Amino acid sequence: MHGRLPNSLQKLWAWLVTGVFFLIPANLYPLISNEVFGHEEGHTILEGIVVFAESGDYLVAGVIFLASFVIPAFKVLVIAILALSIQFHWQLDRRVRHLLYEFVEFIGRWSMIDVFVVALLTGLVHLGAILAFLPGVGAICFALSVICTMLSAQALDSRLIWDGVENE
């Protein structure tokens, strides 16, 4: 048994950097491919946002943009700020650190929205040789990125948030 999680920050950084590396191909490769009458066409996340926006579905485009770009980037940024503030002993208000940690824990549940949508589409829409949706390389990389960033947040020993912080 350990009083603290050993090498917490090192594990956090390893998982976080790995998650960021997976985000790159997740945004460059197709998230989903549709096959219509044997002709397969893949779409990246950005292409999907553009298609929905051009067809007038601004709400759907906004949700996809938020879930696919804003939330993952913000999550990585918050985890990095927490790790840096602990590692370099920044005088960050303890309530702010705690709120940032709670935010990362909360948002982790919603990070898999894109992957769930792809899984639902591939499972529900399969009409034989007429129409099928297939998960792309981007979906696998996005899922791996989400898993890695979730593991980075879990690797953080939350007691480190309170170490070295003056009582206000």
pLDDT value, residue 63:
84
pLDDT at 112 over 80: no
138 C-beta neighbours (distance < 10 Å), count: 24
Taking only the tens place, the pLDDT of each residue in 19-70 is 999 999 998 999 877 766 767 778 888 888 898 899 898 988 888 888 888 8
Report yes or no: 115 and 146 within 8 Å, Cβ to Cβ: yes
Per the listing, tokens 């350990």 go with 2
Among 13, 11, 19, 17, which residue's Cα sits nearest to residue 149?
Answer: 19
Q: What percent of the chain has pLDDT over 90?
A: 24
Taking only the tens place, the pLDDT of each residue in 138-165 is 888 988 998 899 899 989 888 888 775 4
Report yes or no: 34 and 133 within 8 Å, Cβ to Cβ: yes
Question: Band of the pLDDT at 91, cuts 50, 70, 90?
Answer: confident
Query: Model-level pTM?
Result: 0.81
Q: Which helix (H) or strand (E) holds 32?
A: strand 32-36
Report yes or no: 92 and 164 within 8 Å, Cβ to Cβ: no
SS3 125: coil
